[in-house]
């Protein structure tokens, strides 16, 4: 109950700030839908305001003062699409914005089981994000090694160590009171354990067939 209350308070403060600063009323409407859990309505509202914005740009709108709001639309539209499990739509969007959403593209490839795309996008992502400071990059690197290398025990062990250390560092950077913001790191810890188990099973199978 305490965690849920903290989440609601944080969301309320965030929405309150935007109510005073948003240039488009649709922004506040979409965030309200998100707050209520109506992700489909929120998604369509973000799409509507982005279309309205494009028309305003055509009519000569100065966009320099609403760059943060534009980014909000994109980020929250992606969040809503994730909540609706519409990974194919997100994948299409990420493919048209590879440079900006490299890690998102890797997430989509992971969800879709497209290992070739995952390997390609991960190589590009690693050039921007250091494995030492991003647990997801290291986790994905471990799974790519598992799928593409026959003798991969050493590589997987290296990625597990990097992912574990990065997760611990990310945990230390969060508030001491455990709340919803900690959940992704707890989920990451579970995935790291699954990678370790998958690597062990793979090595056992190799030994049996050698």
pLDDT in 10s for each residue of the chain, 210 residues = 333 333 444 556 667 777 778 899 999 999 999 888 999 999 999 999 999 999 998 888 777 778 889 999 999 999 999 999 999 999 999 998 887 888 899 989 988 888 888 888 888 887 777 655 588 889 999 998 888 877 778 889 999 999 999 999 989 888 888 877 788 899 999 999 999 999 898 888 888 876
In Å, how far are 68, 88, 145 from 102, measured between CA atoms?
20, 15, 19
Instruction: Say what the pLDDT of residue 179 is.
Output: 77
Instruction: Say what the pLDDT of residue 9 is.
Output: 41
With beta carbons less than 8 A apart as the criterion, state whether 184 and 152 touch. Answer: no
Instruction: Say what the pLDDT of residue 12 is.
Output: 65
Instruction: Say what the pLDDT of residue 10 is.
Output: 56
Instruction: Please count the helices (runs of H) and the strands (runs of E) in the chain.
Output: 10, 0
Q: Which helix (H) or strand (E) covers residue 151, if one does?
A: none
Pairwise CA distance, residues 119 & 4, whole Å: 37
Pairwise CA distance, residues 115 & 57, whole Å: 39
Instruction: Say what the pLDDT of residue 7 is.
Output: 43
Instruction: Say what the pLDDT of residue 79 is.
Output: 93
Q: What angle do CA 124, 187, 34 make, to 5 degrees?
A: 85
- pTM value? 0.76
């Amino acid at each position: 109950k305490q965690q849920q209350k903290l989440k609601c308070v944080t969301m309320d403060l965030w929405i309150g700030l935007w109510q005073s600063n948003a240039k488009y009323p649709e922004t506040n409407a979409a965030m309200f839908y998100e707050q209520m859990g109506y992700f489909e309505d929120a998604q369509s509202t973000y799409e509507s305001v982005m279309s309205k914005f494009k028309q305003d740009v055509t009519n000569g709108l100065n966009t320099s003062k609403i760059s943060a709001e534009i980014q909000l639309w994109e980020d929250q539209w992606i969040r809503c699409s994730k909540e609706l499990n519409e990974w194919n739509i997100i994948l299409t969007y990420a493919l048209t914005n590879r440079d900006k959403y490299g890690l998102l593209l890797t997430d989509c490839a992971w969800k879709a089981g497209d290992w070739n795309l995952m390997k390609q996008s991960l190589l590009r992502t690693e050039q921007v994000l250091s494995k030492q400071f991003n647990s997801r990059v290291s986790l994905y690197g471990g799974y790519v090694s598992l799928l593409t290398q026959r003798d991969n025990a050493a590589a997987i062990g290296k990625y597990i160590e990097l992912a574990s250390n990065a997760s611990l560092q990310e945990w230390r950077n969060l508030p001491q009171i455990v709340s919803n913001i900690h959940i992704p790191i707890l989920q990451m810890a579970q995935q790291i354990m699954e990678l370790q188990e998958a690597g062990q099973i793979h090595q056992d199978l190799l030994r049996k067939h050698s």
